[in-house]
Amino acid sequence: MAEITAAAVKTLRERTGLPMMECKKALQETGGDEDKAVDWLRKQGIKTQETRLGRETSAGRIAVYADQTVGAMVEIKCESAPVASSPEFAQFAKDVARQLATGPGAKTAADLLQQPAPGKPGSTLGQQKDDMFNRIREVFDLGRIVRFDSPSAGYVHHTGDIGVLVEVSGGNAEAAKDVAMHIAAKDPEAVSKEDLDPQSIEKEREILSAAARQEGKPENIIAKMIEGRLKNYFADKVLLEQPFVKDDKKTVGQVAKEAGMQVKRFVRWQLGKE
C-alpha cells in the first residue's frame, strides 16, 4: 500500500472540503491516486444519500437567471434554513438557473443535473450537488424548473422563498424587473382580464348581484353597480389592473405602457407550494 502523506491528505481536503480522516481513507482505498479518491468519496456520499432519501426537504430557495434573450427559474430544496441561506447553497441555486437558461434546456430536473456546472468546470451539476452533500450532509432536491426562450426579467425575495419569472416585449430591464418585483409582492392570478377564467368572473358577478339585491338596490341599476364593483375584483386579481407597488397612483398596465413594454406571461413560485 502506498504511503499516504499528510500533504496528500491536506490537498484532497482542500479540493473536496471533507474531513481529514475521510480524505485519508479515500487515498488509502485508491492507492494514493487523488482523482480516484475524489470519485471514491463521491460514491460513498451517494450511498449515504440513498439512506436519507425519505428525509423532509422543507427549506430551500428559488433562483432566477434572466436577460434580453432568455429566462429561467429553479427551485432547490434542502432540510434546514441555515443551509438554505448559506453562500454555497445560494451559489449552487444560481448555477442551476444559469445553466437552465444558457444551456440546451431540460425537460426534467434529472436531465438538468447531467449538464455542466457553470461554476465548476469539469463537473456536472449533479456532481456539484453530490459534493455539496458530502460536505454538508443534508439532502438536496432540485424541484420545479421553468424556462422562457424570450426576453425575460426575474425577481427573488431576499429570503429566497418567493421567485418570479416574467416574459416581456420591449421596455427596459429596470421596468421589467420592477414588474417582477410587483408580482412577487401582490400575487396576481393573470396578466389581463382576458386571461382570467370566465367562470370565476361570472361567479363573482353573481355574488355581487346577490349582495346588491340584499342592499335593496333596484334591478335597473344593479347591472351598472356590478360593473363598477368588478373593477375592484380585477384590481385584486389582474396584474395590469393592480395599483403598482412602487406608485399606487398608477396601475401596472400604465407603468408598462409608459415604458413601452408588453407583459406577456409570468410564473410566480412560493417555496414548497405548487
| pLDDT above 70 (res 79) | yes
Residue where one domain finishes, among candidates 159, 185, 211: 185
For residue range 218-273, what is the model confidence (pLDDT) as tens digits? 777 777 788 778 888 899 999 999 999 999 999 999 999 999 999 999 999 999 88
Q: Looking at the structure, do residues 72 and 133 belong to the same domain, yes or no?
A: yes
Q: Which set of grid coordinates corresponds to residue 181?
A: 418585483
The model's pLDDT over 124-169, given as tens digits with 9 standing for 90+, comes to 999 899 888 877 778 889 999 999 999 999 999 999 999 999 999 9
Domain count, the chain: 3
Asked, for residue 104, whether it belongs to a domain, the answer is yes
Structural domain boundaries enclosing 14: 6-50
Same domain for 18 and 64: no
Query: Looking at residues 95-112, what average pLDDT do you find?
Result: 96
65 and 37 in a common domain? no
At 52, the pLDDT band (50, 70, 90 cuts) reads low
- Give bridge partners of residue 165 from the DSSP assignment: 154, 267
Q: DSSP characters for 14-80?
A: HHH---HHHHHHHHHHTTT-HHHHHHHHHHHHHHHHHTTTTS---EEEEEEEE-SS-EEEEEEEES-
Residue 214: what residue type?
Q
- Residue 226 within any structural domain of the chain: yes
The dihedral through the CA atoms of 53, 56, 59, 65 has a sign that is: positive
Give the per-residue pLDDT at 107: 93
| Same-domain check for residues 178 and 66 | yes
On the 0-12 / 13-18 / 19+ scale of CB atoms within 10 A, 151 is buried
Threshold 0.85, pTM exceeds: no
C-alpha cell at 110: 434529472
Together in a domain, 172 and 79: yes
Report how far apart, in Å, the C-alpha atoms of 246 and of each of 66, 97, 135, 154, 180 are. Answer: 22, 27, 42, 17, 12
| 175-198 pLDDT per residue, tens | 999 999 999 999 999 999 999 988
Same domain, 69 and 176: yes
What is the Cα–Cα distance from 117 to 122, expressed in whole angstroms? 8
